[in-house]
Structures are given as C-alpha cells and as structure tokens.
Amino acid sequence: MDTAELYAKYCAIEEHVKHIDSEIAQIEKKQENMNELTITVSKLADNMKSMLEEQRSQNDRLRQLEEKPAKAWNTMQKTIFTTVVSALAGGLVGILGMAIAQYLH
C-alpha cells in the first residue's frame, strides 16, 4: 500500500467515524427524549391518581348531599303518618270514652 491508498483509507475511516459519531449523538438525543417522556408519563400517572381520589371524594360528598332531602322526606312522612295515626287513635279513644260514659249513665 502506498501513501495515497493509506490516505484514502484514512479519509474513508474518518468519514465513517463522523457518521458513527452523528448516529451516537442522535441516539443520545432520543434517549434524553425517552427519559423526559418517562418522567412526564410518571407525573401524569400521579396526577391521574390524585384526580381519581378527588373524584371519589366528590362522589361521596355528592351522594351525601343527594341523600339529605330523601332522609328529610322520609322523616317528614313518618312524622305525618304518626300524627295522623295518633289523631285517629285519640279520636277513636275519645269517641269510645264518650260512648262508654253515656252507656254508664
């Protein structure tokens, strides 16, 4: 091999090394992007978990708010029923008492 051939091979190797360096730089950039993406996905997962917990908490509070009027309505129905039954029973006892009083006189 003469000097010209050696120089040509050297130039070819030099170009190949530059190409490999360029590919390594691209791979390193892609790796950095993947690391950033991994961190972002991890943060997103944490945020979604937090949002899910908050949504469950809000659902519980909403359920309690929705149940309040129903509980109040049920209590009112029981009170009305008890009042009506008590009034009817009281009236019936009064009528029976008056009938017994008249029967005894």
Q: CB within 8 A of 1, min separation 6: which ones?
A: 9
State residue 60's pLDDT score. Answer: 94
The pLDDT assigned to 33 comes to 97
What's the pLDDT tens digit per position in 58-100?
999 999 988 888 888 888 999 999 999 998 998 898 898 888 8
9-40: per-residue pLDDT in tens? 999 999 999 999 999 999 999 999 999 999 99
pTM of the model: 0.52
Grouping H, G, I as helix, E, B as strand and the rest as coil, residue 16 is: helix
Q: What is the pLDDT of residue 100?
A: 87
